[in-house]
């Protein structure tokens, strides 16, 4: 019964996120990019387009505001889905890959909404941030879906809420940071049509978002790995055993450590650091899908069979 509600909330959340994406995309389409004024140096360039742009800009701003509110609604539905799942199964709702992805994407959405309050200039990145979230949730809700049920004895430990929640939240943060770095490269590179690139936040804003999210994500991710080691010591007889999941988590940690070092190295601060962040995100995604589904290891809890 509750499990059914959880599923409905989940589907509703995805739909609402898509709506938020559409609103944001519409908001950006409504804002015309500044036309370069090459001739007529006499008059101020703002004079002419200002009159006709005014209403479009107002509509755009309204759509963008609505987009944020709708995303908040989506996050509430998403949270309801997670809580209902936990109540339905009478355990912490992080026992298989579907639930894990649900928690990661929820963390990513909340991160994004918090970031919007801190760096309002980042708002025009919304469609690009919501896109991977919607894709992940769709995958989680279809191919990786697992019906509500109990988990194996090894997963019944108070370390599950600690370790897996910390991993899920830090993964959500790292997704937002990684997407910001991807957008940073698109924005500062030349491969993207100007019409799209110019509607994104400035490269500087995107770089700041990537870094500010990272300085929260990295310590949390470190904590999650340490908590995992403490749990492994009680469950598997050793705190670290180079299980494939552990190994790739270590690789990702090293890459993110490299990102932070790059931020302090002349010549690596922005562009190259962004590439490192993307390498880190790729490793995390690889760890989520490939290691869970293809490589056999102790962490094979995906529940997909």
Least separation, in Å, of the C-beta of 7 and another protein? Answer: 21
Contact between 150 and another protein per CB under 8 A: yes
Query: Could you tell me if 81 and 102 are in contact, meaning their C-beta atoms sit under 8 angstroms apart?
Result: yes
Which tokens in the block code for residue 297? 């290891």
Task: Count residues near another protein (CB under 8 A).
Answer: 52
- Work out which of 291, 299, 301, 303 binds another protein, going by CB under 8 A: 291
From the CB of residue 303, how many other CB atoms can be counted at a distance below 10 Å? 19
Contact between 247 and another protein per CB under 8 A: yes
Contact between 295 and another protein per CB under 8 A: yes
- Work out which of 29, 242, 282, 293 binds another protein, going by CB under 8 A: 242
Q: Which stretch binds another protein (CB under 8 A): 87-95, 126-134, 151-159, 161-169?
A: 151-159
Rounded CA-CA distance 117/113 in Å is: 7
Rounded CA-CA distance 77/8 in Å is: 9
Q: Which stretch binds another protein (CB under 8 A): 99-107, 181-189, 195-203, 291-299?
A: 291-299
- Nearer to another protein by Cβ, of 46 and 230: the residue is 230
Contact between 108 and another protein per CB under 8 A: no
Q: Which of residues 159-188 bind another protein (CB under 8 A)?
A: 159
What b/e string do you get for 181-211 counting C-beta neighbours within 10 Å, with b at 16 or more?
A: bbbbbbbbeeeeeeeebebbbebebbbbbbb
Query: Could you tell me if 187 and 203 are in contact, meaning their C-beta atoms sit under 8 angstroms apart?
Result: yes
Helix, strand or coil for residue 236? coil
First vs last C-alpha separation in the chain: 24
Least separation, in Å, of the C-beta of 279 and another protein? Answer: 8
- Nearer to another protein by Cβ, of 29 and 215: the residue is 215
Which tokens in the block code for residue 182? 């991807």
Measure CA 22 to chain center.
18
Least separation, in Å, of the C-beta of 122 and another protein? Answer: 14
Q: Which of residues 219-238 bind another protein (CB under 8 A)?
A: 219, 222-223, 226, 229-231, 233-238
Closest C-alpha among 125, 90, 94, 93 to residue 111: 125
- Nearer to another protein by Cβ, of 29 and 242: the residue is 242
Q: What torsion do the CA atoms of 143, 147, 149, 151 make, to the nearest 10 degrees?
A: 0
Chain positions contacting another protein, by CB under 8 A: 150, 152-154, 156-157, 159, 208, 211-212, 215, 218-219, 222-223, 226, 229-231, 233-245, 247-248, 250-251, 254-255, 257-258, 260-265, 268, 283, 291, 295-297
């Amino acid at each position: 019964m509750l499990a059914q509600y959880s599923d409905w909330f989940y589907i509703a959340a995805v739909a609402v996120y898509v709506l938020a994406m559409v609103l944001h995309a519409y908001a950006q389409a409504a804002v015309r990019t500044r036309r370069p004024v090459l001739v007529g140096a006499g008059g101020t360039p703002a004079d002419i387009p200002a009159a006709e742009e005014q209403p479009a800009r107002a509509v755009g701003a309204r759509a963008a505001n609505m987009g944020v509110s709708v995303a908040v609604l989506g996050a509430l539905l998403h949270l309801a889905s997670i809580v209902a799942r936990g109540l339905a199964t009478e355990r912490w709702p992080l026992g298989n890959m579907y639930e894990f992805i649900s928690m990661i994407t929820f963390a990513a959405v909340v991160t994004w909404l918090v970031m919007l309050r801190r760096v309002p200039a980042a708002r025009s990145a919304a469609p690009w941030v919501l896109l991977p979230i919607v894709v992940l949730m769709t995958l989680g809700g279809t191919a990786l879906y697992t019906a509500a049920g109990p988990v194996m004895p090894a997963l019944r430990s108070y370390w599950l809420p600690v370790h897996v929640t910390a991993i899920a939240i830090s993964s959500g943060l790292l997704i937002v940071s990684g997407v910001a770095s991807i957008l940073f490269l698109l924005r500062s590179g030349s491969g993207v049509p100007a019409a799209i690139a110019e509607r994104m936040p400035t490269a500087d804003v995107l770089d700041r978002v990537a870094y500010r999210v990272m300085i929260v994500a990295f310590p949390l991710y470190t904590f999650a790995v340490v908590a995992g080691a403490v749990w492994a010591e009680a469950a598997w007889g050793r705190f670290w055993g180079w299980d494939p999941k552990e190994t790739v988590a270590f690789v990702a940690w090293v890459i993110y450590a490299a990102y932070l070092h790059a931020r302090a190295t002349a010549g690596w601060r922005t562009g190259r650091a962004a590439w490192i962040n993307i390498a880190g995100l790729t490793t995390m995604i690889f760890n989520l899908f490939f290691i869970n589904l293809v490589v056999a290891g102790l962490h094979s809890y995906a529940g997909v069979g």
